[in-house]
Structure 1
Amino acid sequence: MLAIDALEGIPVLPEHSAVIIDEGHELVDRATAAVTSELNVPMIERALSRGRKHIDSRTYEMLQQAGEDFDDCLRLAAEPLAGPTQLKPVGSDVTLALTVIRDACHQAITEINADKESKDPESLAAKQHARGAIEEVHDTAGALLAGDDFDVIWLDPGEGRSPSLKLAPLSVAGLLREALFAKSPVVMTSATLTVGGGFDSLVASLGLSDEQVTTMDVGSPFDHAKQGILYVAKDLPAPGREGVAMEALDELAELIEAAGGRTLALFSSWRGVDRAAEYLRVRLDSRRFPLLVQKKGDSVGSLVQRFADDHPSTLLGTVSLWQGVDVPGESCIQVIIDRIPFPRPDDPLLSARQRAVDEAGGSGFRAISVPKAGLLLAQGAGRLIRGASDRGVVSILDSRLATAGYGRALRASLPPFWYTTDRATVLTSLTRLRDELDSRD
């Protein structure tokens, strides 16, 4: 609602003298999503369906043909692509199809506005819906045609769905500054606003200067250094593109065994979840170590509840479990993270933002990828200590956190656990905690 009110200029919020934003670390991503334009054939077909009774048959046929040509162009361009890809420049055939779509929609809107015969409420409502759907296609096609060097246009192949052409601004900092921060005081809160122990990355992403902001870190009610251990598996090979390495799977199994289950294992991809599940089903005794595996489409709430109710269980999951999972007590004494969650290198928008920083003389990797990874890493590690009596270990199976130059900044983004790279120490600590909890049952 805030994005609609501030960025799209549609007043949906009541009058206010200040804005308070919880989970403020998500503001840039939410704002980007709000101003991202997308055009695909289902949108055009929906506009045609709603407008059929209200526009001339020739206009209908022109828009229908333009939609088919647009679909053909996108499918042809998507054939060699493995994933979303920036189009720079947009092909002349796509540009022509967009132009015809925009012009046909303009004609259709003119015809709908000229229709004075619809007077009953039902007909007026149908006409309004038709105009709204056609205006959406018209405005999106126009935005795609007007895109410049400050915009990123990319093709999403769809993976079983219709391909889409998308556009987003290279930066939303200016939009946020003008539409939000310049209008009223803004308070942003979150447990993960800092990266590397500071607010610099957040302030820069919002397009603000240090003089324009006041920052405060109120700390945590928990004593992380006494309640938890941060273990980085320094001796493992660095993760590669082939997925979770066998050495990491062996370490994963030994850590789960030492903890007696009671483990939330977070992976950066579905492929990692599936590979780990396949390995653990063979390696671990399912009666002693029940395994819960997240699948696409699963209800996160019910899955987490099963994990909380079954103390010896281990839950394997991906992105949706990195945030918001709250399992205090002995059901979760260990969080394992398979690798540093850097953004996908094929993300066209983030890649373009990184290149822009590089071209300006900075480091796009450190300005874009490291902060995003740090925030998500902190969210994942934050699943461990949920109460004053909780204890446990965050185990990260990515040696780069200990060896790479950016590792220190990422570790500083995490809660201040006691830090070690000694595997034997961690296994001993987990075993002692497991035995203590088992003795209570």
Structure 2
Amino acid sequence: MGTRPGEVAELLAAAVSALGGAHRDGQVAMAEAVAQCFNSGEHLAVQAGTGTGKSLAYLVPAIAHALADERPVVVSTATIALQRQLVDRDLPRLADSLAPHLPRRPEFALLKGRGNYLCLNKIHNGAAEAGDDQPQDQLFNPVASSALGRDVARLTAWSDTTQTGDRDDVVPGVPDRAWSQVSVSARECIGVSRCPFGSDCFAERARDRAADADVVVTNHALLAIDAIGDANVLPEHDLLVVDEAHELVDRVTGVATAELSATALGVAQRRAARVVDAELAERFEAACATLTSALFDARAGRIDVLDEELGSYLSVLRDSASRARTAVETAPNDPKTATARAEAATALGDVADTASRILASFVPAIPDRTDVVWVEHIEDARSGNRTLLRVAPLSVAGLLRARLFGPTTAVLTSATLTVGGDFDAMAAAWGLTGSTEAEIGWRGIDVGSPFDHARSAILYVAAHLPPPGRDGVGAAEQLDEIAGLIEAADGRTLGLFSSMRAARATAEIMRGRLTTPVLCQGEDSTAALVARFAADEQTSLFGTLSLWQGVDVPGPSLSLVLIDRIPFPRPDDPLLTARQRAVAARGGNGFMAVAASHAALLLAQGAGRLLRRVDDRGVVAVLDSRMATARYSGYLRSSLPPFWATTDGDAVRAALRRLHEAG
């Protein structure tokens, strides 16, 4: 049946009036475009700048269509913060304001993956006792073990009082290792019909609420699991809204990535040992030990040619894990061990499937491969150094095209979707273009922004600086530039760096040169640091990737966004370099299609931290001369808002001083 765009505009006006908002042309244009998309079945990409009010612009037509068609609309987000904003603030207020204008009050629900909810069967039947799935080094650490025991005891007591079983409702929170003792993944679940606690299951209750809702809010990871996997975890739906859509490809890639590591193999060994005979357990343990040893000595980086030794180790691991899994799955059904067997079968299956996938990925010639394999060494002061063998899809475009955009009509929206001035790069990454199959209908619109970018902000490119060095730490000239800009702004600076090493080193140097406070990511939780930054106008905050995309600090506390260098991917990034090579093999420009697009999107996200409300003013300073001199500089600048641009440092510092004095 659907809803006419005109009706949606009337509903939006009623909602905005009830909520005390103001008419915004971009918001109305977006709402009408979303309504038209839902009616026509044509996919829609919408770039809606900060301040547009895009949440209302898609929620109003989503609610109207859901009630008219009696079919839910799914809204997917990338971040917990936006999920909470939608469920705790936007949707309740919107439901109240629209209720008088609709046949009934709209209902909404938040749905997460099963692993986010307590498993009562695991708690009461003791499938995994505290410590079973811990890394070996922590099992012999009395402090870690006692902390884990206390957390598990607290969660067990909490299970008797909680109404939701939702991990986010645990205050204070608990580490992953504690939560894993009281939760199961979807594949580890023994099933509601076999579970003695099925009627009280928190995950099933959440699914029941979602099944009755008009709008179901979820995240990109669960959306990917629903699309890629065999089981439907979301309610049946025809209409989909993907907010923070610039994150979709990375989140789906993450879900489609598999890995083998000492930790994962150790968990599989311990789970298997509880439910298989000694001979099978020993064979699997030996295969795990051999591969773990080989990974420890392996060089980090992409693997294009699989040597015989590693191939042999993977084959033995695959076969031993498969035999153990078969033994678990064919064992007599004992209700007392059902959960333990389900966990063991899942862990063994993951190991066997991943080893098999890695081996299969090397069968085609390099130009025809669809998976990328690499070794990664991770240094972590808290959890210790780890080595991972990973396999990921070269592209998820075909997957998204077939499994997500084929069955549904989708709206994809974000403040930053145009790369190099158009939607082409994002559309290709989503699988909406570039396929030899039948064309998928889609269109892209930019509804603009309420901000007057040219009057509100300056884009300063420090063209006089030497190109940044490889070590990531600024040269003396760049450090002088940073100090001068922050002094002129009297603090009030968000420093976005290409690496944590650069952020920490620069923060330490600035603390010795500046009279205003400097915070650095990693010194406290990111949320706490952002709160301190927002509370004190003279404070500066330095950090890396999560700050590029997650900071919302309106007002005078943020007048200067510093970007130390163009955020190209690391030259040794195995997945992105493989994607560049694939583009080049097809005759394209791999650097522009992958590296420059990646940098352009991050630059737009970083620059978007500056103007958060219409009266904000300030400077985005890019301290990388290539932004002015390189052949690709125009492409990068066209991805940014239309700020007033200059390379005159004196003029910028004077503007920052005037801004500080006026504030």
1:178 corresponds to which letter in structure 2? A
Residue in 2 that maps onto 1:261? 491
Query: Is the aligned partner of 1:88 residue 2:304?
Result: yes
Residue in 1 that maps onto 2:431? 207
Query: Is the aligned partner of 1:114 residue 2:330?
Result: yes
Q: 1:282 aligns with which of 499, 506, 512?
A: 512
> Within 2, Cα distance between the matches of 1:196 and 1:368?
12
Query: Is the aligned partner of 1:102 residue 2:318?
Result: yes
Alignment of structure 1 residues 33-52 onto 2, 5 Å: 33-52=254-273
User: Is this contact kept in 1: 2:511–2:517, CA < 8 A?
Assistant: no
Q: Offset at 1:163?
A: 1.5
**Does the residue aligned with 2:263 lie in a helix, a strand or coil?**
helix
Paired residues, number: 426
User: Is this contact kept in 1: 2:274–2:340, CA < 8 A?
Assistant: no
CA 1:74–1:227: 2 relative to 1, 3 Å:
same
1:5-34: CA deviations, max 9, x gaps?
Answer: 002233111010111100111111111111
Q: 1:225 aligns with which of 454, 459, 483?
A: 454
Residue in 2 that maps onto 1:31? 252
Query: Is the aligned partner of 1:180 residue 2:410?
Result: no
Residue in 1 that maps onto 2:274? 53
* Gap runs ≥5 in structure 2: 1-221, 363-368
Q: Offset at 1:216?
A: 0.4
Residue in 2 that maps onto 1:379? 605
Residue in 2 that maps onto 1:272? 502
Residue in 1 that maps onto 2:619? 393
Query: Is the aligned partner of 1:170 residue 2:394?
Result: yes
1:216-248: CA deviations, max 9, x gaps?
Answer: 001111111111111110111111103211101
Residue in 1 that maps onto 2:474? 244
Q: 1:412 aligns with which of 617, 620, 638?
A: 638
Q: Offset at 1:272?
A: 1.1
Residue in 2 that maps onto 1:339? 565
> Within 2, Cα distance between the matches of 1:231 and 1:153?
40
**Does the residue aligned with 1:126 lie in a helix, a strand or coil?**
helix
**Does the residue aligned with 2:458 lie in a helix, a strand or coil?**
strand
**Does the residue aligned with 2:407 lie in a helix, a strand or coil?**
coil
**Does the residue aligned with 1:216 lie in a helix, a strand or coil?**
strand
2:325 corresponds to which letter in structure 1? I
1:108-154: CA deviations, max 9, x gaps?
Answer: 122222321x523x312211111111111111111111114221110
CA 1:301–1:158: 2 relative to 1, 3 Å:
closer
CA 1:114–1:200: 2 relative to 1, 3 Å:
closer
**Does the residue aligned with 2:414 lie in a helix, a strand or coil?**
coil
Residue in 2 that maps onto 1:81? none
1:227 corresponds to which letter in structure 2? S
**Does the residue aligned with 1:405 lie in a helix, a strand or coil?**
coil
Alignment of structure 1 residues 346-365 onto 2, 5 Å: 346-365=572-591
Q: Offset at 1:334?
A: 0.9
1:88-124: CA deviations, max 9, x gaps?
Answer: 11221111111111111121122222321x523x312
1:155 corresponds to which letter in structure 2? V
User: Is this contact kept in 1: 2:461–2:624, CA < 8 A?
Assistant: yes
1:328-363: CA deviations, max 9, x gaps?
Answer: 111111111111101111110100110111122111
Q: Offset at 1:309?
A: 0.7
Q: 1:126 aligns with which of 312, 330, 340?
A: 340
> Within 2, Cα distance between the matches of 1:88 and 1:209?
28
> Within 2, Cα distance between the matches of 1:131 and 1:207?
34
Residue in 1 that maps onto 2:231? 10
> Within 2, Cα distance between the matches of 1:401 and 1:87?
33
Residue in 1 that maps onto 2:359? 145
Q: How does the TM-score come out when normalised to structure 2?
A: 0.63
Q: Offset at 1:281?
A: 1.7
Q: Which moved more, 1:262-271 or 1:208-217?
A: 208-217
> Within 1, Cα distance between the matches of 2:307 and 2:597?
34
Q: Offset at 1:280?
A: 1.0
> Within 2, Cα distance between the matches of 1:114 and 1:23?
44
> Within 1, Cα distance between the matches of 2:386 and 2:356?
20
> Within 2, Cα distance between the matches of 1:50 and 1:282?
52
Q: Which moved more, 1:260-269 or 1:44-53?
A: 44-53
Query: Is the aligned partner of 1:216 residue 2:445?
Result: yes
Q: 2:521 aligns with which of 294, 298, 302?
A: 294
**Does the residue aligned with 2:584 lie in a helix, a strand or coil?**
helix
> Within 2, Cα distance between the matches of 1:334 and 1:113?
59
Q: Offset at 1:208?
A: 2.4
1:45 corresponds to which letter in structure 2? G
Alignment of structure 1 residues 57-76 onto 2, 5 Å: 57-76=278-297
Coordinate RMSD, CA, aligned: 1.4
Percent identical among aligned pairs is 50
**Does the residue aligned with 1:419 lie in a helix, a strand or coil?**
strand
Q: Offset at 1:171?
A: 1.2
> Within 2, Cα distance between the matches of 1:353 and 1:66?
32
Q: Offset at 1:207?
A: 2.8
2:262 corresponds to which letter in structure 1? V
Q: How does the TM-score come out when normalised to structure 1?
A: 0.94
1:386 corresponds to which letter in structure 2? R
**Does the residue aligned with 2:386 lie in a helix, a strand or coil?**
coil
Q: Which moved more, 1:92-101 or 1:159-168?
A: 159-168
**Does the residue aligned with 1:430 lie in a helix, a strand or coil?**
helix
> Within 2, Cα distance between the matches of 1:163 and 1:433?
49
> Within 2, Cα distance between the matches of 1:93 and 1:158?
23
Q: Offset at 1:261?
A: 0.9
> Within 2, Cα distance between the matches of 1:187 and 1:142?
36
User: Is this contact kept in 1: 2:453–2:643, CA < 8 A?
Assistant: yes
1:103 corresponds to which letter in structure 2? D
1:389-422: CA deviations, max 9, x gaps?
Answer: 1111111101111111111111111111111111
> Within 2, Cα distance between the matches of 1:69 and 1:15?
45
1:59-101: CA deviations, max 9, x gaps?
Answer: 11111111111012112223xxxxx401111221111111111
Residue in 2 that maps onto 1:314? 540
> Within 2, Cα distance between the matches of 1:128 and 1:396?
52
> Within 1, Cα distance between the matches of 2:543 and 2:329?
51
Query: Is the aligned partner of 1:156 residue 2:376?
Result: yes
Q: Which moved more, 1:40-49 or 1:263-272?
A: 40-49
> Within 1, Cα distance between the matches of 2:420 and 2:309?
46
1:262 corresponds to which letter in structure 2? R
